[in-house]
A and B are shown apart, each in its own frame.
Chain A
Amino acid sequence: MTSQMTCDEIEQGDVMERYLLGRLDEASRDEVDEHLFTCDACFERLQTLRALRRELAATVGVRGVEVVPEKAGWIWRWTLLPALAVLVVAIGVTLGPRAFPPSGQSTSTSPGRPDRPAGTPGQPSPMALAELGKFQPPAFAAASLRGVPEAATARFRDGMAHYARGDYRGAIAGLRAAAALDPQAAHATFFLGICHVLNGELNDGIRALQQTIDAGDSPYLEEAHLYLARTFLQNLDPIRARQEIERTIGLRGPLEKDARQLLADLDRLPTTTP
């Protein structure tokens, strides 16, 4: 039997990376191998690195080119904007300012209520704002079960089973329960917010997305800012939407490009005339 490396020894330096690349001497490799037979955490890390290398290799043909952004599905809406703009201007000219109700009448008073209603002179028209704010549900697929789920995870999975079928109303109960059991669970509050918005409950959606952001750094932080921006647009609140877009840009993450595009689209929206 060889002597084993410890987790700390493997963490230090680039032992796992060198192991993966075949750059360890035989004795060290044996030590790592034996350790992997007795440690779940290190074996899991190795499996992730193997998967990572495979994924990187799949994109190696485009090395130096950024990996395709996750939210490419939003692009289709931008292509509709010119046509929409023409339509909105035509309606505005034909019917005048009374064509659209003030934003305060279209939604209940809430944390999402606009500070400065859209549709006023110099502001984008409500229809264009709402259209710009629409989004498709972010992708989600359940992973296979590993071990027994804790209560919050079990409820989250219940909710996401509805979500996967497009039943956003049905998903809310499970996601709300998961978020109540673990308020710091960003994945639960994020998808809860998304489901509320897709179900037309904008103010509840705003609260849940804000809760995701308040939870601090998480895999959902950047998305939460951008989806919150879109929700504010749907809620006819371009000022707060703009703030969230700028926060998304400030994170300098992979959604920065989407956020900049959204900001540009917002700036290009036709405004109502006095």
Chain B
Amino acid sequence: MSAETFILLPDRARLGSVQKEKNDRLARTVPPETWVRSALLTPAEQLSLVDRIRQGDGLAEEELVARFSARIEVFAAGRTHDRELARDVMQEVLLNVFSALRAGQLRDAEKLGAFVFGIARNVVNNHLRSRSRHPASEPISDDLPAIDDDDDLADRMALVKRALRRLDATDQRILSMTLVDGCKPGEISSALGLSSDVVRARKSRALKKVTDRVRTWLRSGSR
């Protein structure tokens, strides 16, 4: 199942260069004048998407899958800490969403994202209850098929690697101690001989550099 997300959506002026069939389909299904960067879907698009799913439009279903499958899987993995279960949950949630939409259970079609989230949360909680487990606040797993099987994340890994190499060794170490070891700035400052404020500032700048560069490179299509 494709987990591709459309991170950058073009405006109408850019539609002349549409080549890919997938994008042609998207151009037909979503009015280009309403495409915007970063927003998931405008209220009008959500209404249109829900309407078409109710009418059994397969392309609309594909679009919904593309938009939400990775989100559901990441969410489920974060709650269950079980990569196989997360994938099963994702399938189950999507089936439930389609079923609910066809049955007209979404009253406010402009809240599609929240609706999908609500179903995902219920499905996850049901699984956890059935396993007599409670949702624990543990680190979000990144050992997921979502990374290995998803083109988007595979690309992102390559870009992150490149962006990381552009940081100096101290910044790399601060990020590693923060994100991998879970150290707090005070602990890092002792280890590196820096003040906590400096560690905090360097961490923040380094994270911004990496995320900004990856976003820029994703936009340019390079890595």
A residues sitting closer than 8 Å to B (CB atoms) are: 1, 4, 17, 19-26, 29-30, 33-34, 36-41, 43-57, 59-60, 63-70, 140-151, 153-154, 156-157, 160, 185, 187, 219, 222, 252-254
Contacts and interface: CB of A to CB of B under 8 A. Distances in A.
Contacts of B198: none
A23 B137 contact: yes
A57 B220 contact: no
A143 B18 CA distance: 17
A47 B139 CA distance: 14
15 contacts: A19-B140, A22-B137, A26-B137, A33-B75, A33-B78, A37-B120, A39-B39, A40-B7, A49-B211, A52-B164, A56-B179, A64-B173, A143-B158, A146-B7, A252-B168
Interface residues of B, number: 85
A157 B6 contact: no
Interface of B is mostly: helix
Contact of B147 (A22, A54, A68, A69): A54
A47 B9 contact: no
Interface string B94-137: 00000000000000000001101110110000000000000111
Contacts of B15: 148
A143 B182 contact: no
Contacts of B180: 53, 56-57, 60, 63
A150 B10 CA distance: 7
A254 to B, nearest CB: 5
Contacts of A50: 74, 140, 142, 147, 153
B108 to A, nearest CB: 11
A148 B153 CA distance: 19
